[in-house]
Chains A and B, each alone.
Chain A
Amino acid sequence: MQPMKPFKARRDPAPSKTSYRFQRLWLTPVFRSILRTGVPAFTILAAVVWYLSDDARVDALREHAADLRASVEQRPEFMVNLMRIENVSEEVAEDIREITAVDFPVSSFDLDLALMRANIEELDAVAQASLVVRAGGILDVEVVERVPAIVWRGREALELLDVTGHRVTPIEARGDRQDLQLIAGDGADVVVPEALELLAAAQPISNRIRGLLRVGERRWDLVLDRNQRIMLPEADAVTALERVLALNTINELLSRDLVIVDLRDARRPTLRLGVEAQEFLFQISNDKAKDDA
């Protein structure tokens, strides 16, 4: 039989009522979850609210954030040093530089490319622009210029217009752009495509054309040299012009002494003769009357 070990009373202390209650509380699942998630969340929230309750601290925080942002923005990787404008004439480039008015070097965060693009595209001479900040701190501006298609003599000035009728640039004298046709009259600039169509149709007599005149903002007169004028209708002006040209090829209509070919009413084309022709016509009709008598 094994010997008995020396006697030692086992400690078996009873928990105090408080510790018993606390343990039971601690073992309550709801209490535990509140303590583990609710209390930390509330503490953090309270700390944040307390910190933000003072304006000075908020300002300091804001300033710090701004400094931080600036320090990132001012890094050389983000700096733009020069603007390169491509595919454009000297004057337009000058205009673009003037209108964008950027002081280089500048951080690329401070460049509002969309606004700049809108500003550049507002220039008359510019049809389309695209701005890209390239590596190495270069602001690349690619511009598609408007191509002048016609000269418009308005009330105030002599201007070049593109195919859509948009203003390109004013010019000093008609003689500066002999290669382009002239249009004139109020409201002529809004119907430039139609004018171009007419001028294209009038290609066979292009050496005689002086210009197109918009009359009453509704129809065209084709003005030729020798003060000849073809009055075109509002509708189907091209067809009417082609009729005249057909007559011209067959009868050499326009080389005769005519002042006006009036096609405004398609059913009743009218010719106004020159003074000499009128007299001649009068004379021969008199002669004929004499012969008949």
Chain B
Amino acid sequence: MTMLYQTQRAMRNQRLAAMQRGVVAILDVGTSKIACLILRFDGVTPNSATEGVGAMSGQSRFRVIGVATTRSRGVKFGEIETMEETERAIRTAVQAAQKMASIRVDHVIACFSGARPRSYGLAGSVDLHEKAVSEHDIARVLSACDVPDYGRNRQVVHALPVNFALDHRSGLSDPRGQIGNRLSVDMHLLTVDQAAVENLLHCIKRCDLELAGIASSAYASGVSSLIEDEQELGAACIELGGGATSISIFIRKHMIFADSVRMGGAHITSDISQGLQVPMPMAERIKTFYGGVEATGMDDREMIDIGGETGDWEHDRRQVSRAELIGVMRPRVEEILEEVRARLDAAGFDHLPSQRIVLTGGGSQIPGLDSLAARILGQQVRLGRPLRVQGLPQAATGPAFSSAVGLCLIAAHPQDECWDFEIPMDRYAGRSLRRAVKWFRENW
């Protein structure tokens, strides 16, 4: 965890440098599209008229000045599969966004949906030397958490202190300065496959960009799609992406669980392609134009030309009814939602006080999805769109951009993570002692 601590700290420094310069790019590497948003921070204080709304999550401090999306290439299940292709796609998106913003960006904050995220709940506690809790004590208690063995080829992307408890008072968000004897913390650790992160890092480096932070898109879309009450009272955000469906559970404004189902819109498209015998781009178009999950009597009569370019008259003038299309799509959507249900159950979502579920992501635009989801996931389902941010064009306000927008909010108003605190000296000392012992063992 220490090496990761270093890299994450380096990223934080890059983020600070980007803030200093005032321009930072947001890169959402998805399976179906790569979106690049360029933010300009000009240190504008929130308007006094909106002060009653709250902190606004810092979102009034930045403005989107460049937006570009491009068809994603070489990404599967939210993970980079072909480096060259992905690098080219990132270049396309960044160049177009830079052109729109007419400014050069050097720092980029990226998010990805796949890479098999896994959540761990960590707890740690420490006795206080002095009565009042200092920043140093928080660093100590964070490093006192017993880190589980999450595997060698895994890497931590988020380590969020979720809850602090002082003696018997729990639910503190900021215990600094408070009086007590024993400080304990609950931390949410999110790990992903190391290879996926390293591939992304490499791609971004090949584009002459500096990575100023990475985030899981489950977290980012939860931040942007859940409204403040939902984040406070507990809700799950389900982002139906192209190659993966991300799940995140929020309570008390902290993410406490994240997971992803390796199925998404791309699988629905491939089902259509196979079921109706049409090429993939055509299947994608049919899905977006006529797709649905609830068949009605009207749909039996509505015929869709699915065409073709073969020259065979019979083949090129095929027609299917919309009911047939729905019949192809629905089992896959159900499968995805069932899988999501299973993950939520495994996470103990039923025990949360509020069972609110928000569907977002490009897949959530399938007509009739909300009623189907209500049947599978529970009654409190709604479709979510990302928060409105300043300067975002209309084309980029849809649910497909929820993780990109969420990343903007995280960039503007990052949550404290474990590496934001200085690592205590005794950890360093222990490590060096251990290394010395190891050296002796190896050499004698």
Contact = CB atoms under 8 A, between A and B. Distances in A.
- Are A and B interaction partners? yes
* Interface SS, A side: loop
Given A20-B207, A21-B208, A28-B104, A12 B304 contact: no
Interface residues of A, number: 20
Contacts of B282: 7
B95 A20 contact: yes
Contact of B98 (A3, A12, A14, A23): A23
Contact of A27 (B71, B98, B290, B307): B98
Contact of B285 (A2, A7, A14, A19): A7
A4 B95 contact: no
Interface string A7-45: 101101111010111011001110000000000000000
Nearest to B71: A12
Interface centre among B92, B102, B104 (most CB of A within 10 A): B104
Contacts of A10: 71
Interface residues of B, number: 26
A4 B92 contact: no
B208 A4 contact: no
Nearest to B92: A14
Contacts of B98: 23-24, 27
A15 B302 CA distance: 42
B305 A24 contact: no
Nearest to B99: A23
Interface in B82-125: 88-89, 91-92, 94-95, 98-99, 102-104
A12 B104 CA distance: 21
Contacts of A24: 98, 104, 208
B286 interface: yes
Contacts of A114: none
A4 B304 contact: yes
B305 A20 contact: no
Nearest to B281: A9
Interface string B283-297: 001100110000000
B304 A20 contact: no
B88 A14 contact: yes
A6 to B, nearest CB: 8
B70 interface: yes
Contacts of B307: 7
A2 B302 CA distance: 11
30 contacts: A1-B289, A1-B290, A2-B289, A3-B305, A4-B285, A4-B286, A4-B289, A4-B290, A7-B281, A7-B285, A9-B281, A10-B71, A12-B70, A12-B71, A12-B92, A13-B92, A14-B70, A14-B73, A14-B88, A14-B91, A15-B91, A15-B92, A15-B95, A20-B95, A20-B207, A24-B208, A27-B98, A27-B102, A27-B104, A28-B104
Q: Give the top 7 A-B pairs by smallest Cβ distance, nearest first.
A: A14-B88, A27-B104, A14-B92, A20-B91, A4-B289, A15-B95, A12-B71
Interface of A: 1-4, 7, 9-10, 12-15, 17, 19-21, 23-24, 27-29
Given A10-B71, A20-B207, A27-B104, 4 more contacts: A4-B286, A7-B281, A9-B281, A14-B91
